[in-house]
Amino acid sequence: MVKDLLERKIADNLPGLSFDVLIPPDGKMGDYSTNAAFALAKKEGKDSISAGDELVNALKKDKELADIFEKIEVAKPGYVNFFLSEKFLKKQLEKISKEKEYGFNKSKKGKTVMVEYTDANPFKLFHIGHLMSNTIGESIARLYEASGAKVIRANYQGDVGLHVAKAIWGMSNMENGMWNMEKIGQAYAKGAKAYEENENSKKEIDEINNKIYDRSDKEINELYDKGKKQSLEYFEAIYKKLGTKFDRYFFESEAGPDGVDIVKKHPDIFVESDGATVFKGEGYGLHTRVFINSQGLPTYEAKELGLNKKKFKKDNPDLSIIITGNEINDYFKVLLKVMELTMPEVAAKTKHISPAESLIEQTKSKLPESDNVDAMEKIAIGAIKYSILKQSPGHDIVFDFEKSLSVKGDSAPYLQYTYARLNNIVAKAGKLSSGDAEYLTEPVELAIIRRLLMFPDVVLESGEKIAPQHLALYLYELSNDANRFYESIHVLDDENSERKNARLVLVKTVATILERGLNLLGISALPRI
């Protein structure tokens, strides 16, 4: 990777100094730029332009860099800018077009990363929050795989708790029959309403909650087993649509006992309060959370402790990433502090990131009618995923139907449409011959090769920073370059066969990188739209 090489070469000339190598927003400022001269100027007590000249003179003597850059220069107030040579760009296109895993890296080879995401709860319907978590989690999982890590996809599901008791109460007060998810959802809504409005119903639901834990009631057990089975089958159908296959399924019913055990082993950390066991977070700038309630049952907090113990006991990952919604950020701060106090080795390797079926259907309904149902569904899912991923995890996600479905803007359909356009050119050309990149002289062609060279760095950065929005932006900019090329150059009409072949190789390579990048975001690249 050019950026990596530059960083090493500059570091060799400036040992011990900190600096950045960036890709400038404007090509007039070079293909790469560094602020290293400022660090050198501070060290040697000179102005940054003089320090920049000193660094440029040193780098120009490097033969390896001389073969890559046609120009290295200092620009005010002291940035050193690097301009790739046309010869190098053309040579790189030949390499990129043939390398099957171009863009991927081995920076995480030998590491195991567990990514927990989606976390849909049985007895409740799949909603937009689950979809966002799934989208971000799946892309992060793929980015780590692209960095050589062994990735374990995990799903933690709340199969016990008050929400389940409310659903079971609702089911027991409705007519028996086929318990599909729509009916189970209605039962949950019925139970939730009764719990808030009727004191007798509230007591009944609390009793059911206890019986679910100890499996002491045959009728409740039967409703529970039916509801859980139907819920999990319903979720699997959605996961298949979204392109996710989990390796580990963890359940609250299994994590609870371990969580209780952890709490009881640390009386120095947890205290009794009104019959419950709590963690007083105020001493750490946090807030108090209940871990075992007054009925002696583990809360969600205690179950989370048990879950994380199970994760590391089973797979001992080098990194455990948890994707949740923004609404539980404060809760997770408390949980991570408790983990730090009770399981420091687990806490040190755990990172929390916060970022529906009906939405997919709504999005599909706004697309033009088509006989290709599978393609329409993939476009709808891609539009939702890209709309989520182009925004930074940790911020509120805004979904706009019109913008997300546009084939002319920053959207998945635009990327998919660009890929289909390029794929169509290649398909019409028939069998491809190897082309000589020397025939690629147009500025728009060289701009595309420059963009292709950035792909490995973008994949690496997106994975290391757990920021798929960087990859989303890159693919949008690559699509812009490709469309400018498509509109200004008619490849198939070119009478110069050598130049035509070179351009076809360029088109095929861009299509391949678009497909590869979309796949890392969990979005389907469609040959035809």
Beta bridge partners of 484: none
pLDDT score at 356: 47
Strands 276-279 vs 350-353: parallel, antiparallel or unpaired:
unpaired
Q: What is the 3-state secondary structure (H, E, C) of 420-454?
A: HHHHHHHHHHCCCCCCCHHHCCCHHHHHHHHHHHH
pLDDT of residue 21: 94
* Run of H or E including 152: strand 150-157
Nearest to 30 by CA among 90, 77, 73, 93: 73
- Cis, bond preceding 77 (omega within 30 deg of 0): yes
Average model confidence (pLDDT) across the chain = 92
Measured between alpha carbons, how far is residue 428 from residues 423, 424, 507 in Å? 9, 6, 12
- Count of Cβ atoms closer than 10 Å to residue 274 Cβ: 8
- Please tell me the distance from the alpha carbon of residue 19 to that of residue 506, in angstroms, as a whole number: 34
User: How distant, in Å, are the alpha carbons of 129, 220, 389, 409 from that of 228?
Assistant: 20, 12, 31, 42
Residue 346 confidence (pLDDT):
97
Ordered by where they begin, the domains of the chain are 2-84 (3.30.1360.70), 357-520 (1.10.730.10)
The pLDDT of residue 401: 65
- In this prediction, residue 325 carries a pLDDT of 74
Question: Looking at residue 28, what DSSP letter applies?
Answer: G
Nearest to 279 by CA among 266, 295, 261, 294: 266
- The tens digit of pLDDT for each residue in 454-493 reads 999 999 999 999 999 999 999 999 999 999 999 999 999 9
Q: What is the DSSP letter of 62?
A: -
Rg (CA), the chain: 28
Do you know the residue count of the chain? 529
Q: By the 8 A CB rule, do 250 and 156 touch?
A: yes
State which amino acid sits at residue 496.
N
Distance of CA 287 to the CA centre of its chain: 30
Q: Rounded CA gap, 393 and 284, in Å?
A: 26
Give me the residues of the chain with pLDDT under 70, please. Answer: 326, 355-359, 361-362, 393-401
**Which amino acid is residue 58, in one-letter code?**
A
Q: What is the pTM of this model?
A: 0.87
- Cβ-contact 333, 286 below 8 angstroms: yes
Residue 467, Cβ neighbours under 10 Å: how many? 19
199 token code pair? 């004191």
